[in-house]
């Protein structure tokens, strides 16, 4: 062990998370579960991600949108749509490095998005300082060993 961080038996960095916002989307696409599923299926196939349970998709009534959740061996993919304002959000977290997917072109094509913003966050194990790790261990009742 080095400090309060245990030696990892595997090569694990913490992974990458993408937060995607699409604005100016077509309302008919934001209320269509098949359209949302097609986008998610494209992401999964392109990045070779592994679904470990049946995906959950829910279409809210009236003018409501769609929520989709995929449980992955690599973590998760979610989508929430807001047709009342032409907005969709996606969140993809992969615990292993993956190439960046072309969200901009895909969401313009599938949703008619006028603007797509993609933020990428490295979820780095080394980003947590030993002091933060010790504080978490104390708060959670866990040992720092």
**What is the rounded distance in angstroms from the CA atom of residue 99 to the CA atom of residue 19?**
15
The question of whether 4 is a catalytic residue gets the answer: no
- Which residue, among 123, 127, 136, 130, has the nearest Cα to 2 in the 3D structure? 130
Q: What are phi and psi of 46, to 5 degrees?
A: -65, -40
The question of whether 46 is a catalytic residue gets the answer: no
Q: Which of the following is catalytic: 4, 13, 95, 133?
A: 95
- Give CA angle at 121 (119, 125), nearest 5°: 175
- Give CA angle at 58 (53, 61), nearest 5°: 170
Q: Which of the following is catalytic: 25, 75, 94, 110?
A: 75
The question of whether 94 is a catalytic residue gets the answer: no
**Residues carrying an active site annotation:** 75, 80, 95
């Amino acid at each position: 062990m080095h400090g309060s961080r245990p030696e990892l038996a595997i090569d694990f960095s913490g992974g990458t998370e993408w937060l995607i916002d699409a604005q100016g989307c077509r309302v008919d696409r934001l209320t269509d579960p098949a359209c949302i599923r097609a986008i998610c299926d494209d992401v999964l196939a392109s990045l070779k991600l592994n679904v470990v349970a049946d995906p959950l998709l829910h279409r809210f009534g009236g003018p409501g949108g769609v929520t989709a959740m995929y449980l992955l061996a690599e973590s998760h993919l979610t989508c929430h749509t807001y047709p009342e304002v032409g907005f969709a959000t996606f969140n993809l977290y992969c615990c292993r490095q993956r190439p960046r997917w072309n969200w901009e072109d895909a969401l313009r094509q599938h949703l008619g998005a006028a603007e797509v913003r993609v933020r990428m966050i490295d979820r780095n194990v080394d980003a947590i300082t030993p002091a933060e790790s010790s504080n978490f261990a104390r708060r959670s009742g866990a040992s720092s060993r």
